[in-house]
Amino acid sequence: MTPADVSAALTAHGYLPNDGLTTSVFLAMQLRRPLLLEGEAGVGKTELAKVLSAWTGGELIRLQCYEGIDAAQAVYDWDYARQLLHLRAAEATGETAGRSSDAVEAELYQERFLIKRALLRAIGHGDGPPPVLLIDEVDRADDEFEAYLLEVLSDYQITVPELGVFRAATPPIVILTSNRTRDVHDALKRRCLYHWVEHPDFDREVAIVRLRVPECSDQLARQVAAAVEAMRDLNLYKPPGVAETIDWATALGKLGVSTLDQHSVETTLGTVLKYREDHDRVRKGGTQLLLEQAMGHR
């Protein structure tokens, strides 16, 4: 496999990476290292994991991080309700009679009562292609959880005290994303490959729109990409990401718009901009001006 293969494969699955991202993904797969992606919201961090899963055929296992996430939600838990039922059933049929409580207890901690959460599923998977483990917004989790992740991602193994060690035959492909609400710990960063995902340049964005929204004409795709590019220069609260560009092109396509005009921009602005202040700013700056920029582009 070469980086060019990675690029071709991702493109074939609807994701147009630039060289930096291609190389990072290639290295992550070859070196079996987690890949930490940072970048503005909507530049396609999460999307990459989905595309990788579609390409490799490995199951996409997503772990959405949040403050207070703990092992029972991320690694494994026991199915206590089933354990209790099992215990009651054994009691009722007299199976427990004359047996030590240790023996009864051991019976309850079998793998069939184990609920595997994302991390254990990613580590303890069976045959087939390794899964793609997406650890989304890792910056939202607590430090303790990050430290735990570090351990899991270093050895790709998880210990369940009652059952023993689960070890991945082939480690999963791991994508971590962060929105930089706080710094991810250095120790975790050291373990990962790192890539800062940029907004795509104009031509790539046009290509992305063409790829993802086939019904959108080349002309409209260029106008949309140019208008979005102009909006990114307007000092908005939330400059539109690629995700918004695609949404916008899709919306325009559904409305049967073939070329941008003032009316179509104003009625569909909500798919691109998500703050009232941003709407005001674009309107004040003049959608007309925006259009001129969009029309005059290349």
In terms of CB distance, is 3 or 285 closer to other proteins? 285
Decide: 147 and 185 in contact? Cβ < 8 Å.
yes
Question: Which single residue is written with the structure tokens 């990476």?
Answer: 17
Q: Which is nearer to other proteins, 161 or 256 (CB)?
A: 161
CB of 78 to other proteins, least distance (A): 7
Do the Cβ atoms of 228 and 240 come closer than 8 Å?
yes
Distances (CA, A) of 53 to 110, 127, 129, 192, 241: 30, 15, 10, 19, 22
The residue ranges of DSSP E strands in the chain, in sequence order, are: 35-39, 60-64, 76-78, 114-116, 132-136, 157-160, 164-167, 173-178, 193-197
Find the shortest distance in angstroms from Cβ 86 to other proteins.
Answer: 9
Cβ pair 39, 197 in contact under 8 A: yes
CA-based end-to-end distance of the chain = 36
Please, which residue, 181 or 214, has the CB nearer to other proteins?
Answer: 181
Q: Shortest Cβ distance from residue 9 to other proteins (Å)?
A: 31
User: Which lies closer to other proteins via its Cβ, residue 112 or residue 298?
Assistant: 112
Residue 198: how many other CB atoms lie within 10 Å: 13
CB nearer other proteins, residue 27 or residue 87: 87
What is the nearest approach in angstroms of other proteins to the Cβ of residue 192? 18
d(CA 292, CA 228): 13
CB of 26 to other proteins, least distance (A): 29
Nearer to other proteins, 12 or 103 (CB): 103
CA gap 282, 227 in Å, rounded: 11
DSSP label of 111: G
Nearer to other proteins, 11 or 73 (CB): 73
Residues in the chain: 298
Binding site for other proteins (CB under 8 A): 41, 66-70, 78, 80-81, 83-84, 87-88, 90-91, 96, 101, 104-105, 108, 139-140, 143, 179-183, 237-238, 277
Q: How far is the CB of 81 from other proteins (least distance, A)?
A: 6
- Min dist. Cβ of residue 130 to other proteins (A): 30
Kindly state the smallest distance separating residue 80's Cβ from other proteins, in Å.
3
- Which of 27, 108 has the CB closer to other proteins? 108
- Which two structure tokens, joined as six digits, stand for 245? 């560009």
CA–CA distance from 38 to each of 69, 72, 92, 135, 204 (Å)?
21, 27, 56, 12, 19
